[in-house]
Amino acid sequence: MSDENDIQYKLEEGIGRVQDGAESLRDKASDTIEDLTCNKGCAAVQAVRDVVADQPVVSVVVAGITGFLLGALCARKL
């Protein structure tokens, strides 16, 4: 009976280690992906923010033209 309990304990301990390793690997991968996407995404957002702050009139004109064209395309499709 003791051998069965010992085997079961070792098996559960091994499974626990595998689960901990998998969780650690998943967390590292998730952190790496978040860092990569934030770096590229955050840089793009900051670049757009800088352009809008430097040239607000041009930004409003571009946004207006883009909205008009998208509206015309949507109206044409419907």
pTM for this prediction: 0.45
Model pLDDT for residues 41-67, shown as the tens digit of each residue: 677 788 888 888 999 999 999 999 999
Does pLDDT of 13 surpass 90? no
Alpha helices in the chain (DSSP H): 2-54, 56-77
Domain that holds residue 62: 2-77
CB-CB contact of 32 with 39 (8 Å): no
Mean pLDDT of the region 19-46: 75
Number of structural domains in the chain? 1
CA separation, residue 51 to residues 43, 62, 65 (Å): 12, 12, 17
Structure-token match 């040239």, residue found: 55
